[in-house]
């Protein structure tokens, strides 16, 4: 995972494995999923029901940029739910495509490419670097050198989204071209597993941002700073 220079806000170096391990260990949200891996209710693939809840109610006094990101999360959660239904049906039908499943998959991956990845870019180019600096200043970081914050983990998630999304899409396409039923089933099983992982990671990521990162941004970043980042969104090359 790449990290952010605390002075410039730019991505710099690869994070060492020990740092990643330490940050994940100290992540209070992740702990709930890792507490007892043997029990299905706490499995990272089946996180607590809290992750499935909608985002917190909008605070009309909250800055426009945070309201925008929350609104985009709400739309994303709806699309994720539809994709979950489609991938469940795909498995229940013995990994056979029908018209509804095919349309649902196409709709999700179009949304993923055009909306989710764009949303992530807007976060990375606006409040993430500024909030990372503030978290360093207020002592909310790891004890490594250079220090790491929760922003590093969230940006790592953004990379994982791209990897998992591409993997699922390519496996689904590959499976349709394999004539041997047994081999095709193996590929579709992996597509289902990776798709489910993507669903849960997206939900967990949204939960963290809505319940932890955005409140921190509202607390630590001034209205003037948020105004600036909001105005800069329109300048992104998108």
pLDDT 10s digit of each residue in the chain, 238 long?
Answer: 343 444 444 444 344 444 444 444 444 334 433 433 333 344 333 445 555 554 455 454 689 999 999 999 999 999 999 999 999 999 999 999 999 999 999 999 999 999 999 999 999 999 999 999 999 999 888 888 888 899 999 999 999 999 999 999 999 999 999 999 999 999 999 999 999 999 999 999 999 999 999 999 999 999 999 999 999 898 887 6
Confidence at residue 10, expressed as pLDDT on a 0 to 100 scale: 43
- Is residue 123 included in any domain, yes or no? yes
Distance CA 207, CA 52 (A): 8
From 214, 237, 220, select the one nearest 69 (Cα to Cα).
214
Task: Give Cβ neighbours of residue 105 (< 8 Å, ≥ 6 apart).
Answer: 83, 86, 87, 90, 172
Q: Which domain does 126 fall in, by range?
A: 62-235
- Is residue 24 included in any domain, yes or no? no
Confidence at residue 238, expressed as pLDDT on a 0 to 100 scale: 62
- Is residue 106 included in any domain, yes or no? yes
- Is residue 113 included in any domain, yes or no? yes
Confidence at residue 49, expressed as pLDDT on a 0 to 100 scale: 57
Confidence at residue 8, expressed as pLDDT on a 0 to 100 scale: 42
Token digits of residue 15? 């994070």
> How many structural domains comprise the chain?
1
- Enter the pTM of the model: 0.75
Look up the CATH number of the domain holding residue 161: 1.20.120.520
- Is residue 214 included in any domain, yes or no? yes
Confidence at residue 59, expressed as pLDDT on a 0 to 100 scale: 57
Token digits of residue 41? 């209710």
- Is residue 160 included in any domain, yes or no? yes
Confidence at residue 39, expressed as pLDDT on a 0 to 100 scale: 38
Rg (CA), the chain: 19
- Is residue 114 included in any domain, yes or no? yes
213 C-beta neighbours (distance < 10 Å), count: 22
From 178, 170, 199, 192, select the one nearest 95 (Cα to Cα).
192
Token digits of residue 106? 């196409």
- Is residue 102 included in any domain, yes or no? yes
| 3-state DSSP percent of the chain in helix, strand and coil, to 5 | 70, 5, 25
């Amino acid at each position: 995972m790449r990290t952010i220079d605390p002075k410039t806000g730019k991505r710099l170096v690869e994070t060492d494995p020990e740092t990643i391990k330490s940050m994940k260990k100290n992540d209070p949200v992740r702990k709930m999923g890792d507490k007892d891996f043997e029990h299905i209710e706490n499995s990272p693939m089946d996180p607590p029901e809290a992750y499935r809840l909608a985002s917190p109610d909008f605070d009309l006094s909250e800055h426009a940029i945070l309201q925008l990101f929350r609104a985009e999360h709400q739309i994303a959660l709806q699309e994720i739910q539809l994709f979950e239904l489609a991938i469940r049906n795909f498995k229940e039908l013995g990994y056979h495509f029908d018209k509804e499943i095919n349309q649902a998959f196409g709709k999700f991956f179009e949304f993923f490419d055009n909306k989710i990845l764009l949303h992530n870019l807007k976060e990375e180019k606006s409040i993430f670097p500024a909030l990372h600096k503030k978290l360093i200043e207020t002592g909310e970081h790891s004890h490594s050198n250079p220090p790491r914050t929760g922003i590093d983990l969230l940006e790592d998630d953004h990379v994982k989204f791209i990897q998992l999304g591409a993997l699922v899409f390519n496996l689904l396409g590959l499976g349709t071209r394999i004539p041997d039923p047994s081999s095709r089933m193996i590929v579709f099983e992996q597509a289902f597993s990776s798709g489910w992982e993507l669903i849960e990671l997206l939900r967990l990521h949204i939960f963290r941002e809505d319940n932890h990162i955005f409140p921190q941004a509202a607390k630590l970043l001034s209205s003037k700073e948020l105004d600036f980042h909001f105005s800069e969104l329109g300048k992104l090359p998108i």
